[in-house]
Structure formats: structure tokens, C-alpha cells
Structure 1
Amino acid sequence: MKLPGCARSRAVILLTLPAAAMALGTAAWMFLRPDITAQADARPLHPAEAAPSTPSPPLTPAGPPWRYGPPEARFTVVEYADLECAFCRTYFPVLKRWIDEHPEVSWQWHHLPLAMHEPAATAEARLVECVGESGGHAAFWQAVDWVYAHTRGDGLGLPEGTHYPDLTPAAQQCLASDRPDAVVRAHAAEAARHGVAATPALQLRDRESGKVILLHGPVDGDALLSALDLLASDEESTAESSRPPDMPAASVGDMPR
């Protein structure tokens, strides 16, 4: 039996209402639901789930030995120097400029305070050591340059009231300790083992051949290059070389007279 038109429409409406309600509820849940992904991302990781972290490399001390120039250079010029030595002071910028021009060579500083220049020489050596300890290699060489620029030399030391600028608390703490004294004593003992008793003195080392040449006095650039050629050659070099023949006796520095 056919239903009247009005009854048929009512039946269709009654049949479609549950489906419409279900669809509306689903849409509302999809719109209002919490962001499960965001919550999952925000959840703190369990230690077992965390990715292993790469350990930081251990900190290495800045020095000594204090080095200027490429650390991987084949040749090293080890200078034994006194911060009160007038010849060392004059030679300092000359050697620095030569090192800058020769990337195959690096420069290493060793303290050798001479008895005739004490106590100023050791006091200045302690100062530059502590500045380097607190600030690194560049700070060390800057301190050496500052001392040479301000000292009166020949054992007279820094003028009264002259202090290193911006001395850090770490450097001050170092100066209050015996750490710089140990370094200076070790350098002086090494110089004695190599027969170095005057400043400046240069020990040239070849990392490849293991050869060593010792030169006394402020050696000029050409003589340094000749010594490097000798180190690099296949010929046997002597362990020690006296000052180059063309070096005047007056240029020997604080050699005993």
C-alpha cells in the first residue's frame, strides 16, 4: 500500500536524521579533537629513547710551549730568549716578520732569564706565562711584545707603576701560584742540556728528518734559510753550529764577554 505524500516525506526524514547526526558528530570531533601528534611530540623522551649525544672533545691547555705560525709546519725555530735582553728585544719583530713570510716554519718560545738581568727577567717571564695561560697563544705573544715595548731593559725592568693592561682574574691567580716558575725553570734546564747559556739562541728542528741545528745570536734571514736547507738535505748535519761567519761579534747578544 502506498503511503500518502506527507507520510512518505516524514519517513524519509526520520530515516536520514540518525545518519546526519552521526556525520555532524564526526565532523565536530575531527575539528575539536586535541592534537595528538603535538602531544606526542611534546612528551618528554624517556632516557632510553633519547639519541646518544656526541661527547665534547677534552679541553687542551693553551700552552706552553707557546707557538707562533702554522702548527703543522715542517720546521720549528725554538728561541731561547730573555725579556730584559736588548738584542732579544731588537730581534723580536725581525724574527716575527720572517716567520710570517715563511709558512713552512713555526716559532716556539723558551724562557732563559739571565742572572745579570734578575729579578726583572723572571718577573716578566712569569707575567707573560700567566697572560698566555689565561688568554692563549695570541695573548702570550701580545704580552711579550708589550713587555719589550715597555721595559727599560738590561735588568732594569718595567718602570715603577707600569702594569699590564686588563690583567684578567685568571692571570692574577696564576701569578699568585708557582705554575709560571715551574715553566721558567723547565725551560732554563732544557737550555742548559743543549749548551745554551746566552740569548738569543735559536734551535732549528726538522720534524721530518729529526735533525737539529743550534745557532747563537740574532741570526739573519739568509742564514736561517741556509740552516733550513742543511736540515732538509741528505747530508749529515752537526748537532750544533756556531754563529754564521758573516755575523759580527757585536751582534752576539748577551754572550759572555
Structure 2
Amino acid sequence: MTSTSHSVVKKSQRTWWLAAGCAVLSASLWGFLASPRPAGPVAVQQTGAEQMADPPWRYGPASARFTIVVYADLECPFCQSYTPVLRTWIDEHRDVSLQWHHLPLATHEPAASEEARWVECVGETFGHARFWEAVAWVYQNTRGGGQGLPPGTAFPDDASVQACLSSERSELTVRQQADQARNDGLKATPSIRLIDRSTNRSMALPGPIVGDALLSALDYLASEQLDEAQATQMPAETPSADAK
């Protein structure tokens, strides 16, 4: 177990009520503390094997014990601020990786799904790192709230990406992810699901949750004291991107 895993499990003596309290406080204060715009395009270390990849898209080490799945909408202002904060947190916790899951909201259509299809095609064409750069580009340029890109602003042009957009693959991916999220009872963005790949357990939480509250939730998920009624048993093989 890495030092980060050891730290996470070691802190399991904290009570879940402390984590829940921190989570509520984090959510209630988020609108006042979050930056209104995301950081610049992110650079992700990428190997040759990852340059051609498939969703779901990962930020962080493929071998990480814990995965944070963020359910996000590219027209969601809270997601716009929360995503770069999550990336920074992942950079500081090397046994945790981040995974994107599309959940475009009906109130943000059609812009949300159009943007989701574009970032999917960037990922399909160029791999994990460029996917996250595409997400950052959308958040930097969209007007948000379903308004989409300003008049005169277009997605960066690339022939391979355009060819992908001409197919139905990206639309199918976005629709399947959104349907899965709703079937799991997740209807708001951002939301997160924490996965412990060591125990194959997961738990869903309403976001945004950061800092000590997020670490405490991971502690709780890894703890032997976890109430099985409050966690979902994951299948032996989860659809994470670590296989890439």
C-alpha cells in the first residue's frame, strides 16, 4: 500500500459524522469560496499507450487505489469551478485518480450535450490529457447556464475531431453515461462517486466536496467499520480507465 493509502486508512478513526459535517459546510460555503473561472489548460503526463484511448477519461495515476468519479455538466457554473479544484487535490494525493462522467442537464441543452460530444471526440482522437484540456477550454469559453459559446466563438478545428463528430460514437457515449447516472439516482451536478478499488466498494455523494471532507469520506469508504448498507458493492471489474 502506498503512503497515501496508508494515510487514508489510518485516519479511519474519524467518525463519519465529522466527514458529513465537513461536507455540508463545504457545500454551503462553496459559492463564496470557489473561483469563478477555472485554471488554464491542464497538462497531464501521458504515455504513448494512452494517446489513443477510450472513455472514461482519467486524470491521475492509473494504478491509484481510489477513484473519484465526477458527474459534471459543461454548462454548469459549479462544475466549472469545482473541476480544477479537484484536479489540484488529485495532484496532492497520488493514490487517488479522477474520472469524468457526463451528466448534461435538461435545462442546459442543447449546448451541454454539444460540448460533451466535442470533448469526447478530442479525447478519442488525442487521449486522456487532451480530453482534460478540452474540458478546460469549454469552461474558459462558454457563457454557462445553457447559453453555450458566445457568437463568433467556435470549437478549435481539427479534421480528426470533426470526423468523430460526424459519427454517432460520442453522442452514444454521452447518452449512455447520462442514463447510467440517472439510473443510479444522480440528477444534480456536480456529484461524485468514490470507489475503493482494493475493496470494490463505492459511495455516491452530492458535491462539491473538497479538502478534509473528501479525505474523510475516502477514509470511511476504506474503513472496516463501514456500514454495508451505506455503500454499494462494486463488480470485480469496474469501467474505469485504469486499463489503458
Q: TM-score, normalised by structure 1?
A: 0.68
Cα distance between partner residues in 2 of 1:156 and 1:102 = 35
Instruction: Assess, with a 3 A threshold, how the Cα gap between structure 1 residues 59 and 233 changes in structure 2: closer, same or farther.
Output: closer
Match of residue 153, structure 1, among 144, 158, 166: 144
8 Å Cα contact 2:143/2:149 also seen in 1: yes
Map Cα deviations across residues 226-253 of structure 1 (whole Å, 9 max, x no partner).
Answer: 011011111124137xxxxxxxxxxxxx
Asked if 1:91 corresponds to 2:82, the answer is: yes
Deviation, 1:135, is 0.8
Map residues 126-145 of structure 1 onto 2, 5 A cutoff.
Answer: 126-145=117-136
Aligned pair 1:200/2:190, yes or no? yes
- Contact 1:204/1:212, CA 8 A, preserved across alignment: yes
User: Aligned pair 1:188/2:149, yes or no?
Assistant: no
Structure 1 unaligned spans of 5+: 1-57, 241-257
Letter in 2 for 1:63: D
Q: Does residue 86 of structure 2 align to residue 119 of structure 1?
A: no
Q: Does 1:239 align with 2:239?
A: no
Q: Which runs of 4+ in 1 moved over 3 A?
A: 58-61
Report the 3-state secondary structure (helix = DSSP H, G, I; strand = E; otherwise coil) of the residue aligned with 1:93.
helix
Q: Name structure 2 gaps, 5 residues minimum.
A: 1-48, 233-244
Partner of 1:30: none
Residue-by-residue CA offset, 1:19-59 (whole Å, 9 max, x unaligned): xxxxxxxxxxxxxxxxxxxxxxxxxxxxxxxxxxxxxxx99
The residue aligned with 1:212 is 202
Contact 1:209–1:231 (8 Å) recurs in 2: no
What residue number does 1:248 align with? none
Determine the structure 2 residue equivalent to 1:31.
none
The code of the aligned residue for 2:181 comes to: A
Give the partner amino acid of 2:214: L
Matches within 5 A, 1:8-19: none
1:230 paired residue number: 220
How far residue 189 of structure 1 moved from its aligned partner, in angstroms, is 1.5
Task: Tell me the alpha carbon deviations over residues 133-160 of structure 1, each in whole angstroms, 9 at most, x when there is no partner.
Answer: 1111111000000000000000000011
> Any conservation in 2 of the 1:206–1:232 contact (CA below 8 Å)?
yes
Q: Distance in 2 between matches of 1:100 and 1:190?
A: 28
Matches within 5 A, 1:37-56: none
Q: Give, in whole Å, the separation in 1 of the partners of 2:221 and 2:127.
A: 30
Q: Distance in 2 between matches of 1:88 and 1:168?
A: 26
Amino acid at match of 2:219: D
TM-score using structure 2 length = 0.72
Matched, 1:71 2:65: no
Cα deviation for residue 127 of structure 1 reads 0.7
RMSD: 1.6
**RCO greater where, 1 or 2, for CA within 8 Å and sep 6 or more?**
2
Bigger Cα Rg: 1
Give the partner amino acid of 1:218. P
Q: Is the 8 A contact 1:75 1:206 kept in 2?
A: yes
- How many aligned positions are there? 182
Q: 1:26 matched to which residue of 2?
A: none
SS of alignment partner, residue 212 of structure 1: strand
- The alignment status of 1:168 with 2:158, answered yes or no, reads yes
